Amino acid sequence: MGRKPFKIAPFAALLLIYVAFMGYYSTAEINLTARTIGTSLITLLYSLLAAWSLWPRVRDVVTISCRLMAYIFIFHALFEAIAISILTAMAYITMTTEHLQNDLRRQAQIDPLTGCYNRRAFYAIADHSLSRSKRDREITSFIMLDLDHFKAINDTHGHLTGDEVLKHVVDIVADVKREQDTLSRYGGEEFIIMLPNTPSREAAAVAERIRRSVEQSPVEIDGITIKSTISLGIAATDLENIDNSNVGTLISKADRALYNAKKRGRNRVEQ
């Protein structure tokens, strides 16, 4: 349009300031609000400068298209810069809300002491898994386990020590069980494991590995070595009657097998 260009030095200085500003609030101090404001101000500045550059002068021959383009940049300066801030704030609020909802959902599913699923979450997961197993005609096994003489540990060493023993046992079980298995705290010192696509014979092998690992891994708390053992009961779906299987029935069967393990001397696996 035959006009003199802007001098480069002010814009180069502004660019360096902007880069330093964004770098600081992206590394040294993470501040999304500051970065949003900085970006919005730069957008506002270059949009207004572009509009001023394009605005027709008296001597300009082409005026309509230039004026239209200038209006576009003015609109961009006044509204998009603000919109970026608003949309970014809305997105940040949405992300925060989603994070809080996920955290609350997780808290509702996780046992706070042991970090494994609670009973409510287990039933939901087990119902879904069992429905899929029925459709695919696959066997699902449950292992119910209980710490032997846990009341004696609480009475002798205190409930805080008992809590540490519980967490220690859960850590062992979590390490020994397979990745596809689901561990849950059923109540007190009782825990339950769901093993999808696993017949009772394989479930018994997993249970025996867990039993042996707990027996061979005492925990030391405040200089005191505490040995613990567990009893385990196993139940599995029956392919001939799989459509009538449900989570409650399988848990009841596993619980009866656990009772038999305790009745027959504890520290053993029954099915």
Fold of the domain built from segment(s) 119-270 = Alpha-Beta Plaits (3.30.70)
Among 29, 189, 208, 220, the active-site one is: 189
What's the half-sphere exposure (Cβ side, CA atoms, 13 Å) at 42?
17
Strand partners, 142: 194, 235
pTM of the model: 0.64
Distance CA 227, CA 244 (A): 41
H/E run at residue 186 = strand 182-187
Alpha-carbon distance values, 86 to 74, 98, 105, 221 (Å): 18, 18, 28, 54
Tens digit of each residue's pLDDT (9 = 90 or more) over 187-227: 889 999 999 999 999 999 999 999 999 999 999 888 889 99
Tell me which DSSP letter residue 26 carries: I
pLDDT at 1: 60
Decide if 271 contacts 202 (C-beta within 8 A).
no
Tell me the pLDDT of the chain (271 aa) as tens digits: 666 778 889 889 989 999 999 999 888 888 888 888 888 888 888 888 888 887 777 665 556 667 777 787 787 777 765 665 565 567 567 767 777 887 788 888 899 899 999 999 999 999 998 888 888 888 999 999 999 999 999 999 899 999 999 999 999 999 999 889 999 999 889 999 999 999 999 999 999 999 999 999 999 888 889 999 999 999 998 877 777 778 899 999 999 999 999 999 999 999 8
Residue 80 appears among annotated catalytic residues? no
For residue 75, the one-letter residue type is F
| Domain positions in the chain | 8-109, 119-270
**Three-state secondary-structure class, residue 111:** coil
Tens digit of each residue's pLDDT (9 = 90 or more) over 92-108: 677 677 778 877 888 88
Decide if 146 contacts 165 (C-beta within 8 A).
no
Distance CA 106, CA 88 (A): 27
